[in-house]
């Protein structure tokens, strides 16, 4: 069974007699599998969902039941959740499941390799010392932290970056920047995310006992970003990352590593998603010039879909497969 399947609630599954599984062939394609039924044909309905509500136009197909396998013939939208219903035409026995269109392990490895190629381009010095991890936010954010006993609490990762990123909507964390001005060796004097900045010693956050994982590589315009997730070993989030992401060697990797000091890449902006609470006990506070909105965009800023450096290659066209026993009832934009 695909690890991104999720059963619907009890009311949806009541009386179901068909076991339905989905294999994600990529973040855009999937294959539906079902258990044996007595019917000659099954009806297959595929619908985008939000929570437990259907959204968009359902896609319906009729297929030979004995095949017990159906390759969805349209390209799916990345980063979405889909509901699949398989129902016997005459018996009305049915099964239901959902799946998310996120990176497969092979696709994530490909994205990781693309990020490495990006930082290796051009030669020259690849790393610079990083003394602090820093986080900019509006004043109101820090007022809220004060009301929370000066604790910064992780919150759910939004859709910033690649829409097919496995961590979107799945883990909680706090974003910190690591990159510094190559001329001064200090964090830049400006920020897109707010005027108030807290800085925490990098060695205090990236400890030798931490676990570090590669999660994403993207750009919004020209500058490229790598997202790494920093976890406490054995935590629930760490187990999720160990299962789904690419673990990095804290002692040396292509993006962010440490020995007695911490070093970050000079060729890409490295952002750290720190997954534990942080107690603000006399942090270093500075103020920055605000660029742009001065706050994060609600829901996250989408990835630039046209960049060839950080987008996975896709087929030029999607064609309907010629599959024995398939009847296409109607088509729409999945």
DSSP 22-67: EEESSSS-EEEEE---SSSEEEEEEEEEETTEEEEEEEEEEEEGGG
pTM of the model: 0.86
- Nearest CA among 168, 155, 174 for reference residue 216: 168
CA distance 113 to 119: 10
For CA atoms 309, 311, 316, 322, give the dihedral sign.
positive
237 phi/psi in degrees, rounded to 5: -65, -35
Could you give all domains of the chain from N- to C-terminal order, each with its CATH number?
10-101+314-328 (2.60.40.10), 105-290 (no CATH)
CA distance 115 to 254: 9
The answer to whether 17 and 95 are in contact (CB under 8 A) is yes
Helix (H, G, I), strand (E, B) or coil at 68: coil
198-221 pLDDT per residue, tens: 999 999 999 999 999 999 999 988
315: confidence class by pLDDT, cuts 50, 70, 90: low
170-199 pLDDT per residue, tens: 999 999 999 998 888 889 888 888 999 999
- Tokens, residue 289: 């010039």
């Amino acid at each position: 069974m695909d690890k991104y399947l999720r059963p619907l609630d009890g009311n949806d599954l009541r009386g179901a007699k068909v076991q339905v599984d989905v294999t994600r062939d990529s973040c855009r394609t999937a294959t539906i599998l079902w258990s044996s039924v007595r019917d000659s044909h099954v009806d297959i309905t595929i619908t985008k969902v939000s929570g437990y509500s259907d959204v968009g136009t359902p896609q319906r197909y009729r297929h030979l039941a004995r095949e017990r396998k159906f390759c969805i013939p349209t390209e799916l939208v990345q980063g979405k959740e889909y509901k699949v219903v398989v129902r016997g035409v005459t018996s009305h026995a049915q099964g239901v499941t959902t799946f998310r269109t996120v990176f497969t392990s092979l696709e994530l490895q490909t994205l990781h390799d693309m990020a490495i190629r990006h930082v290796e381009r051009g030669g020259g010095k690849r790393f610079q010392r990083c003394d602090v991890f820093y986080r900019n936010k509006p004043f109101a954010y820090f007022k809220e932290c004060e009301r929370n006993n000066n604790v910064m609490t992780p919150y759910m990762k939004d859709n910033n970056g690649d829409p097919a990123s496995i961590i979107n909507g799945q883990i909680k964390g706090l974003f910190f920047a690591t990159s510094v001005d190559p001329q001064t060796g200090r964090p830049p004097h400006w920020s897109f995310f707010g005027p108030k900045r807290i800085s925490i010693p990098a060695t205090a956050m990236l400890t030798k006992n931490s676990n570090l994982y590669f999660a994403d590589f993207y750009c919004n315009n020209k500058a490229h970003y790598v997202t790494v997730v920093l976890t406490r070993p054995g935590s629930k989030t760490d187990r999720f990352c160990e299962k789904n992401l690419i673990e990095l060697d804290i002692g040396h990797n292509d993006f962010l590593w440490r020995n007695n000091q911490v070093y970050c890449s000079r060729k890409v902006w490295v952002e750290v998603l720190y997954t534990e609470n942080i107690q603000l006990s006399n942090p270093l506070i500075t103020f920055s010039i605000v660029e742009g909105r001065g706050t994060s965009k609600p829901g996250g800023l989408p990835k630039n879909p046209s960049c060839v450096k950080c987008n996975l290659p896709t087929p030029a066209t999607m064609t309907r497969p010629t599959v024995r026993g398939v009847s296409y009832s109607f088509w729409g934009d999945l």
